[in-house]
Structure 1
Amino acid sequence: MKRLLFFLKNERKMFIKLTKNDFKARYTGSYLGIAWGVIQPIITILIYWFVFTVGLRSGQRPDGSPYIIWMVSGMIPWFFFSDALGAGTGAFMEYGYLVKKLNFNIGLIPVVKIGASLIIHIIFLTVTTMIFNFFGYQADWFYLQLLYYMFCNVCLVLGIVLFTSSLTVYMRDVSQLVAIVIQIGFWAIPIVWGPEVLTGKFKLIFQLNPVFYIVEGYRDSFMTHKLFIEKPIYTIYFWILTGLFLFAGMYTFRKLKPYFADVL
């Protein structure tokens, strides 16, 4: 982790420049520009809200909170994770011309994709906070905990992206597998359905997913007002697993990067 932070510090100017360019490139040629970064997830949320609230009559949660608020608070971190994972997996393929430059640090490329997704995440998070305030969930100091869970999300997806993006250079099918995993992951995490339906071993199995920790963390910050230090065992487990992902991702990247230019 220290090596990663030192790397970003040294390359911060290039990182900021490339992240801005990548973010702008996503919406180049569209009339609404970056507004699509908010419009698309909002439309998705409205669709699920209509299906579950109107169609399936899931107006309120068992604790009495509005279903739409509970669902959105879980979708926010998932949108960032899935967007960063999907975009980051094909990063070296997209920026192949930079990979072939001898004087360019290609380790920046996956990080740039995550940075661009993070910008969209922050914009969407700001809009969502306004919506929550409208529903009576006023911002308080618990919202500061969102910074911690955002950091968790970035570290987790970075480790995975370093691994998947490196493999994608040699096996193009990896990007397709990641797309399938993202589709399954949305339903495998309590985002549109409540974790209270799980009991015993099933609940433990679902909790082993590190994204579950982040999703519940966002809900704790927005709604239930629980601190991450109140679940120390789960927090330790998350960071051990995330550390393993980061180690595996950086190890795979270092081993494969000398041959990227030849393959691309």
Structure 2
Amino acid sequence: MNAMIKVLKEVFSSLPLVMRLAVYETKSTYQMNYLGVVWQFLNPLIQILAYWFVFGAGIRGARADVEHYPFILWMLAGIIPWFFISPTILDGSNSVYKRINLVSKMNFPVSSLPAVVIVSNLFSYFGMTLIYVLILMSSGFFPTLHWLQYFYYLFCMIAFMFSFSLLNSTISVLVRDYQFLLQAGTRLLFFLLPIFWDVAHSLASKPFVVTIIKLNPLYYIIDGFRNSFLNGDWFFQDVKYTLYFWIFTLLLLTVGSILHMKFRDKFVDFL
């Protein structure tokens, strides 16, 4: 518990520097390209169009609806957070390994490095979310009270991704093969989450399998974003699932903090 509190204090006290580093990294990544940071939005947009063409207009049929919503709107509600989650898992796990030599020369807590990755990826995520909101309204779906819980699920996503990245970034320094395992696992996660298929409906005859899939906290987050924008359930309607998510996240943060504090003075030795 002491380790978790210390890590959280370090992160919150260094937030201004985290923001500056995130902006710097975002600019430096695209500074050699003609379109610059525009590629942060072009890449996911191209992928969205590809998925819509294949799974929307192609396989499912252009007029197929899901839960009374056009498939493209239903799919976007799940795939936009995935465009944040996927790179954050991979970049967050590598955040300490890539930047330890840089921050070792600065008065900057190593525990805040995963937060730099999260903030950097949030820039494009917010842009994509704004585009999605505009698409919803242009399709005749306007804000309702359900949209307010978007901010709750945004907090859930940031909290979980930091906890997960803190743990992963420590293990990745100690065991470099872990990075390859994460890459393979992330590709598999895409097909196990309710991104382009309705898990509960498709596997209605296999409730046990649905329960197993829902044990993944990312399911809670993605399904929550969809419930927010497409007028689904409120987060407090399923108290047990909400408690499960937060207990899992806090456990992950606790374990990650303990490992991080135990090994961070030795990180340089593993490079």
TM-score after normalising by structure 1 = 0.94
> Paired residue for 1:24?
27
2:64 is matched with 60
How far the C-alpha of 1:187 sits from its partner, in A, is: 0.3
Partner residue, 2:202: 197
Task: Assess if the C-alpha contact under 8 Å between 1:85 and 1:161 holds in 2.
Answer: yes
Aligned match of 1:235: 242
Q: Paired residues, what number?
A: 264
- CA spacing shift, 1:54–1:13, aligned 2, 3 Å: closer
Are the aligned partners of 1:99 and 1:260 in contact in 2 as well (CA < 8 Å)? no
What RMSD over aligned residues (CA atoms) do the two structures have, in Å? 1.7
Distance in 2 between the 1:242 and 1:260 partners? 24
Which digits, 9 at most, give the CA deviation of each residue in 1:32-88, with x for residues without a partner? Answer: 122211111111111111111222134323533101100000112111111211111
Aligned counterparts of 2:182 and 2:250: Cα–Cα separation in 1: 20
Tell whether 2:85 aligns with 1:81: yes
Cα separation, partners in 2 of 1:8 and 1:102, compared to 1, 3 Å: closer
**2-side partners of 1:72 and 1:55: how far apart?**
16
* 2:116 paired residue among 108, 112, 115: 112
Structure 1 segments of 4+ aligned residues over 4 angstroms from their partners = 1-5
The percentage of counterpart residues that share the same residue type is 32
> Could you give the per-residue CA deviations for residues 192-239 of structure 1, whole angstroms, max 9, x where no partner exists?
111201132111111111111111101111102432111111111110
Distance 1:9 1:236, change over 3 A: same
Q: Which runs of 5+ in 1 are unaligned?
A: none
Residue 263 (structure 1) shift: 2.0
Aligned 8 A contact 1:160 1:249 in 2: yes
Distance 2:142 2:5 in 1: 36
Deviation at 1:8, TM superposition (A): 3.0
Relative to structure 1, the CA distance from residue 29 to residue 197 in structure 2 (aligned partners, 3 Å threshold; closer, same or farther) is same
Equivalent residue for 1:7, pick from 7, 10, 15: 10
Give the direction of change, closer, same or farther, for the CA distance of 1:160–1:67 in structure 2 (3 Å limit): same
Moved more, 159-168 or 183-192: 159-168
